Amino acid sequence: MTWLRQGGIGAFIIRRLLLGVLVLVLVSILVFAATQALGDPARAILGRDATPASLAALRAELDLDQSVLGQYLSWAGGLLNGDLGNSLAAQQPVTELLGSRLVNSSVLVLCAAVISIPLSIAIGSWAALRREKAFDTVSSSAMLALAALPEFVVAVLLVMLFATTVLQVLPAISPISPGQRPWDVPEGLVLPTATLVLAVAPYVARIMRASMVEVLESDYVEMARLKGLPERTVLIRHALPNAIGPVFQVIAINLAYLAGGVVVIEYVFNYSGIGSALQDAVVNHDIPVVQALAMLIAGVYVLLNLLADVATILVTPRLRTRL
């Protein structure tokens, strides 16, 4: 196993993968324990006046008659096989229930990522180049203010501005009927996407600015300038690749955060994605759905962090020697 401790980037990725799997196993234990420990799910579902017979039947359906370890193993085994169990409220497989909603939410998060990442990298870099000048002052203050606002506040403000109080150019809600895809109603995507962009961009732009400021003051950028390279080349070939390393981590954290942050935003816009599914499941005590969504969001988080670590290593050669 010594090669795992030393050997280069391949071993690093394997090590991070193993760590990610470990975190996921721990997460699954936590999710399972949290949802099982809090009372009898069968009674929670059926209510106080359930008959003993119906309680027993539901317990059998939920595998609650097995030992705790047995229940965990059968649940975790199902997860690995892609069998997430049946929704208690909808009486249909969780995968079927969540499938189209997962697509809807992914479209939203993807749109937000595609717009916010280049935008915030551009704003951050430009602010760093124009340090202490008007653009930097204005954008930094705006980013600071936006970063502090809870996203549902941003969402409702956007609805006021563009859909109700001030202008009426966009729909205030973006429901997606069954069978419809989000891209069938593109105008409905505008405000939710804008909210997510405004929620994420400030963080990425701020870290990009800080990182770029540091790089622009470095010796190698000065050297490149002294060599007489055109400013364009200095920025794109020398400064940007070095400044972008720390930004990957922040992007990953923010995308993972989006996976959870969509809960509130989907609620504001009545958008049928995993966020509103989680909210419904939570209200209905639909434990299999809650468990599946918790594992899904945690899995996204672990995966994104893994990708960010690998990306950081790839763009930061000096970190490779420390592997």
Binding-site ranges for another protein (CB under 8 A) = 22-24, 26-27, 30, 34-35, 38, 141, 144-145, 147-153, 156-157, 159-160, 164-165, 168, 172, 256-257, 259-261, 263-264, 267-268, 278-279, 282-283, 285, 290, 294, 297-298, 301-302
Residue with Cβ nearer another protein (180 or 284): 284
Residue with Cβ nearer another protein (114 or 142): 142
**CA–CA distance, 145 with 169 (Å, rounded to integer):** 26
Give the nearest distance from C-beta 145 to another protein in angstroms. Answer: 5
Residue with Cβ nearer another protein (235 or 263): 263
Residue with Cβ nearer another protein (244 or 278): 278
Residue with Cβ nearer another protein (212 or 298): 298
Q: How far is CA 151 from CA 77, 103, 191, in A?
A: 36, 22, 12
Give the nearest distance from C-beta 201 to another protein in angstroms. Answer: 15
Tell me which H or E stretch contains 248.
helix 245-269
CB contact at 8 A, 72 and 295: no
CB contact at 8 A, 243 and 125: yes
**CA–CA distance, 208 with 143 (Å, rounded to integer):** 12
CB contact at 8 A, 172 and 164: yes
**CA–CA distance, 50 with 56 (Å, rounded to integer):** 10
Give the nearest distance from C-beta 31 to another protein in angstroms. Answer: 9
231-235 long-range contacts, CB within 8 A, separation 24+: 235/125, 235/129
Give the nearest distance from C-beta 49 to another protein in angstroms. Answer: 19
DSSP classification of residue 172: S
Residue with Cβ nearer another protein (149 or 240): 149
Give the nearest distance from C-beta 149 to another protein in angstroms. Answer: 6
Residue with Cβ nearer another protein (90 or 156): 156
Give the nearest distance from C-beta 312 to another protein in angstroms. Answer: 16
Mutual orientation of helices 245-269 and 151-162 as an angle, nearest 10°? 60
Give the nearest distance from C-beta 20 to another protein in angstroms. Answer: 9
Amino acid at 181: R
CB contact at 8 A, 272 and 107: no
